[in-house]
Structure 1
C-alpha cells in the first residue's frame, strides 16, 4: 500500500458511501463522526483514530461505511481495496494475526465508557485527558475535542480554566499538560452531591 499524504481537513470517506477500501493511519490523527439520532441530521464526532489505526474495517462485513472519517491533522495514510484485504487475510496466517491485533485495538477504543453528556464538564474533560496521550490531545483542534465530549467549545474552555485554576493541568494556546494526575482521576470520578475533590492530592508532575 502506497503512502498517501493528506492535509488536515480532508474527508477520507463519508458515512453511507460504498466501503470499497480499508485505510491505515500511518501518521497523524483522524476523527470519526456519525449522524446523530435527532431529527436535524447532525453529524457527531465520537472517536479518535491516531497513527497505527485501521479505518473502514466494517467494509469486510458490510457494503457501506458506518462513519465519516476526517483528518484533523496532516496525515499519511495507506489504502487497500476490500478484495485485496480479504485475499491477504485468506493467504497469510501471520498477516491475519497482525490484522486481528489491530482490529482488537480499534474495538478496545470503542468500548462503552462515560463520554458525551455523562457527568460534569470538568469530569468529562478529566476523563478524556487521562485516556489520551499528549501527542493526540495537543494536535486535535479544541473545537473537535469539545464535540467529542458533547459540549460547546466555550464550555470546554471553561472546564480547562477550572482544572488549570485547581492545579490539575497547565494550559496554553498550543498545549495542555497534566500536572496532577491524581486530582484529574478524582475529578473524573466525582459525581454531583459528593464532597468536592481534595485539592491537596499527590502531584504527578511532568518535566518542564
Structure 2
C-alpha cells in the first residue's frame, strides 16, 4: 500500500492534479522519499538522469555554470512543483545543476519504472500531459513577466504574490531571489531601498512589511515606478 502522505503530496502538485485516486496510487507505488540538507547538491549537469522530482518541502535552485564558474540561476523550485522532467523523457543526462536553498524534502520518481508505467497505462500518460500543460502555461507566464516588465514591476508583483497578511517573507536568500527575478543582487537592494524610502515597504531581513499595498500594485502594473 503506497504511503498516504506521498499520495497526498501528489494531489497537491500541478503535474499530477488531473489524475484520479487509482492513478495516483500507481504512481506513488513507484516513488520514494528523499531528504536533503540545506545547500546539498541533488544532481549535477551531465550526470545520468536517474529520475525526476516533486518538491514537497523547502526550496531548490536549478542553475548552470558559465565558463568562468559564475552561477546563473535558471529558476527556483517551490513545494508542489516538479523538476528534471525533460531529462527523464529525453532519456538523457541532467542539463543543469539542482541544489537545495534550504533543508528540503522531495519525492523521486525513478526513470525506468516511471516510463514503464506510462507505456503500460496510456491513460496515465494522457492525464499527465494535462498536468504538464498547466505547468507549461505557468512557466510561459513567468517568462513573459521577465521579458516584458521592468525590474521594479517584477519585484512588486513578486512581493504581492508572496504576501500573507501585512507582510511577505522571502523564501530564499536575497541573492537567489534576485536571480529568480532576472536581476543582480545590487539591483534588488537598490529597489528595496527606494521602495522603503517612499514608504511602500519596510525591509527587515527576509520579512518585507507591505505598508502601501495600492502603490505596490501600481508599481507591479507599471503605472508607477521607484
TM-score using structure 2 length: 0.70
Distance change in 2, residues 1:85/1:65 (3 Å): same
- Is 1:170–1:176's contact at 8 Å kept on the other side of the alignment? yes
Distance change in 2, residues 1:88/1:45 (3 Å): same
- Cα shift at 1:92: 3.7
1:90 and 2:119 equivalent? yes
- Cα shift at 1:162: 1.6
> Counterpart of 2:144 in 1: which secondary structure?
coil
**Moved >4 Å (runs of 4+):** 131-137
Equivalent pairs, count:
191
Distance (Å, rounded) in 2 between the aligned partners of 1:154 and 1:103: 35
Task: Find the partner of 1:67 among 93, 96, 115.
Answer: 96
What value does the CA root-mean-square deviation take over the aligned residues?
A: 3.1
Per-residue Cα deviation, 1:34-83 (whole angstroms, up to 9, x for no partner): 346xx646331131211111111012124122332111121101212211
Distance (Å, rounded) in 2 between the aligned partners of 1:72 and 1:180: 30
Distance change in 2, residues 1:177/1:107 (3 Å): farther
> Counterpart of 1:51 in 2: which secondary structure?
coil
Task: Find the partner of 2:157 among 120, 123, 127.
Answer: 127
- In structure 2, the residue matched to 1:202 is none
Distance (Å, rounded) in 1 between the aligned partners of 2:91 and 2:216: 40
- In structure 2, the residue matched to 1:21 is 51
Distance (Å, rounded) in 1 between the aligned partners of 2:117 and 2:168: 30
- In structure 2, the residue matched to 1:81 is 110
Structure 1 stretch displaced more, 121-130 or 47-56: 121-130
> Counterpart of 2:199 in 1: which secondary structure?
coil
Structure 1: give runs of 5+ residues left out of the alignment.
191-195, 200-208
1:197 and 2:224 equivalent? yes
Per-residue Cα deviation, 1:73-109 (whole angstroms, up to 9, x for no partner): 2110121221111122233456445633442343234
Structure 2: give runs of 5+ residues left out of the alignment.
1-30
> Counterpart of 1:75 in 2: which secondary structure?
strand
> Counterpart of 1:28 in 2: which secondary structure?
strand
- In structure 1, the residue matched to 2:144 is 113
